[in-house]
Amino acid sequence: MWTSSSDPKTMEQVWKDITLTTTAAAGKKRFQDFDPTSADRHHKRMIKNRESAARSRARKQAYTNELELEVAHLLQENAMLRKQQLQFHREEAADHKGKPLHRASTAPF
């Protein structure tokens, strides 16, 4: 058991002191020592963070708009190519409609 001749404390008082000391030390730094300069720095950092987040959202929105335009363009191009393909198939079918098929002999029997 720990005792001091100059300051006699009971174990209960020592335990309370230790608990209070460690609890205060475990708290967040910004609440331990408050000074106006740290509050200003915190406020400036908070503003910069908001501005950065706003820029990030704007970049994301611009990128999304760009992708949507590209999708629209590709859908339009795809529709045009499908029309061309259909037209070529129709023309080819019309060219071969009147012609009979000729069989070629591949092997003599």
The predicted-structure confidence for 24-35, as pLDDT tens digits, reads as follows 555 555 555 567
pLDDT, residue 1, reads 45
User: 29 or 18: which carries more pLDDT confidence?
Assistant: 18
pLDDT, residue 92, reads 86
Convert the pLDDT of each residue in 35-88 to its tens digit. 778 889 999 999 999 999 999 999 999 999 999 999 999 999 999 999 999 999
pLDDT, residue 105, reads 72
Helix ranges restricted to H, 1-108: 11-26, 29-32, 36-95
